[in-house]
């Protein structure tokens, strides 16, 4: 991790409605990010998943179907990681380099499985909290103002259950411009 770099990450995609808009915004700003994708969604939108990868963004495994890590038997929990990795590999032709557990809830057997799949476990330093009742554009903007060099930033491109990519997108161009004004550059997560 480098002190003048910021590591943007987007979870819960690919989403046919919102991921293209996030991609367009990042492209306009010349920014690369890491996308933690859900395996079954990648299988449903393979062309979109390949578009994310082809744009030069890094890809992480966010499990097969985003079940809460704590409410499964360990066999199912391991399968969530393994099947997520396989879905992404099948669609992209390359294995994901990173793993992030749904809800950030770590579980030893899942981290172990991710490492067996060759994925590094990555959480975050700053969450945009771009979901639920706190996820208005104003609130997201305030939270993102606290991002500093070296931070991994969590945002969401997938609608999923409670995410609010509509709100995030209202302030994402401004956030990217402010990072640049502050001399902070974005980078892919180091593998
Ligand atoms: Zn998630």
Distance CA 42, CA 33 (A): 17
Q: Does the pLDDT of residue 2 top 80, yes or no?
A: no
Spacing, Cα 11 to ligand 1 middle (Å): 5
Q: What percent of the chain has a predicted confidence (pLDDT) above 70?
A: 100
pLDDT tens digits, residue range 97-135?
999 999 999 999 999 999 999 999 999 999 999 999 999
**Is pLDDT of 1 > 80?**
no
And the tokens for 46? Answer: 């393979």
**Burial class of residue 136 (count of CB atoms within 10 Å of its CB; 0-12, 13-18, 19+):** middle
Q: Note the pLDDT tens digit of each residue in 130-148.
A: 999 999 999 999 999 999 9
pLDDT of residue 3: 83
- Tell me how far CA of residue 98 lies from CA of 23, 77, 114, 120, 122, in angstroms: 20, 17, 8, 5, 7
Return residues with CB closer than 5 A to ligand 1 (ion): 11-12, 102
Taking the centre of ligand 1 as the mean of its atom positions, its distance from the CA of residue 105, in whole angstroms, is 10
Q: How far is the CA of 170 from the centre of ligand 1 (A)?
A: 20
pLDDT tens-digit readout, 41-76? 999 999 999 999 999 999 999 999 999 999 999 999
Who has greater pLDDT, 190 or 42? 42
Spatial CB neighbours of 31, under 8 Å, sequence gap ≥ 6: 8, 176, 186
> How much is the pLDDT for 178?
97
**How far is ligand 1, taken at its centre, from the CA of residue 153, in Å?**
13
Does residue 160 register a pLDDT over 90? no
Tokens 């990042």 locate to 26
Q: Which residues are catalytic?
A: 11, 156
5-46 confidence digits (pLDDT tens): 999 999 999 999 999 999 999 999 999 999 999 999 999 999
Cα of 125 vs centre of ligand 1, distance in Å, is: 15
Domains of the chain: 5-186 (3.20.20.370)
* Eight-state DSSP code of residue 167: H
């Amino acid at each position: 991790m480098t002190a003048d770099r910021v590591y943007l990450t987007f979870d819960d995609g690919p989403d046919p409605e919102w991921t293209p808009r996030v991609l367009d915004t990042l492209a306009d700003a010349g920014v690369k990010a890491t996308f933690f994708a859900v395996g079954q969604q990648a299988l449903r939108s393979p062309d979109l998943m390949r578009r994310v990868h082809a744009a030069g963004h890094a890809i992480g495994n966010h499990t097969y179907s985003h079940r809460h890590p704590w409410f499964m038997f360990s066999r199912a929990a391991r399968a969530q990681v393994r099947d997520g990795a396989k879905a992404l590999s099948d669609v992209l032709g390359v294995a994901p380099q990173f793993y992030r557990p749904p809800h950030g809830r770590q579980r030893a057997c899942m981290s172990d499985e991710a490492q067996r799949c060759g994925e590094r476990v990555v959480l975050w330093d700053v969450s945009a909290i771009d979901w639920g009742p706190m996820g208005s554009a104003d609130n997201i903007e305030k939270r993102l103002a606290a991002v500093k060099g070296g931070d991994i930033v969590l945002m969401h491109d997938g609608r999923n259950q409670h995410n609010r990519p509509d709100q995030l997108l209202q302030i994402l161009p401004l956030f990217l411009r402010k990072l640049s004004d502050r001399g902070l550059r974005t980078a892919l997560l180091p593998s």
